[in-house]
Amino acid sequence: MSEKSNVEADVEFNEAGKRVRKVKSFVLREGRLTKGQERAMEELFPTMGLEFQREAYNLNKVFDREAPKVLEIGFGMGKSLAEQASCERNIDFIGIEVHKPGVGACLLLAEEFELTNVRVIHHDAVEIIDYAIADHSLDKIQIFFPDPWHKKKHHKRRIVQTEFCQKLHKKLKKGGVLHLATDWENYAEHMLEVLSPMKEYENLSTSGDYVPRPDSRPLTKFEQRGQRLGHGVWDLQFRSI
């Protein structure tokens, strides 16, 4: 189930010529596309896709309306995103995914469900957050089942880190929600350790840790199977303050 996000670093040079590491959320992954996914990228992406740009999208213009805006980082094959958008057509959804077959698959589902409230981006999430999303423009950001990088030496590659969560906070409206979900308990604990001390956020859990799965997050077949086997899933919701 953990299928999407990861963090890597490129080497850059600052103005003094010193080597610095630039964190990236993903490695762009092309993968082999089915004929349907190829068609989706050719025919649907031009109208339902957003190209990376170094200035903020005008999301109201993109969707041709004013409505709540939700950004999902790492939507995998897009089933959950498409189902959510289908059930909540009064909300606009923007999804970021680096796996090209996943982008194509999501577009096909959007076509099947006749969705007009979804746009997809095939690019590195950190750069999208840095350049293409306006501050205080989002009502919710969701990251569901990111790569857990379960080995301790790889924990630094996890996308949920303090610096990245600070970036996300700037994009949320006051009262906007950051919603995380994982099926790795250790990663859930890591997420809680990152977010709990941050003054920018308020935990929506009444017990100070996790929340029950909100109805807004579709229950996947993998998750249903995991529940039957006794596997856990942890949801966290933090409000921007």
For residue 5, what pLDDT band results from cuts at 50, 70 and 90? Answer: very low
Dihedrals phi, psi of 103, to nearest 5 degrees? -65, -45
pTM for the model stands at: 0.86
pLDDT surpassing 70 at residue 17:
no
Distances in Å between the Cα of 178 and the Cα atoms of 16, 101, 152, 155, 181 are: 36, 26, 25, 20, 10
CA 17/CA 14 separation, integer angstroms? 5
Residue located via tokens 């009502």: 139
Distances in Å between the Cα of 184 and the Cα atoms of 51, 100, 123, 169, 206 are: 32, 25, 25, 24, 21
CB atoms within 10 A of CB 23: 15
CA atoms within 13 A on the CB side of 109: 22
The pLDDT assigned to 206 comes to 97
The pLDDT assigned to 229 comes to 76
CA 14/CA 236 separation, integer angstroms? 36
Average pLDDT (77-89) is 97
CA 104/CA 33 separation, integer angstroms? 8
Q: Which residue has the higher pLDDT, 219 or 200?
A: 200
Radius of gyration of the chain from its Cα atoms, rounded to whole angstroms: 17
At 40-59, the pLDDT tens digits run 999 999 999 999 999 999 99
**Is 147 a residue of the active site?**
yes
CB 78 within 8 A of CB 105: yes
pLDDT surpassing 80 at residue 27:
no
The pLDDT assigned to 195 comes to 98
Question: Catalytic residue among 92, 124, 147, 235, which?
Answer: 147
CB atoms within 10 A of CB 67: 16
CA atoms within 13 A on the CB side of 78: 31
Tokens at 87, concatenated: 């059930």
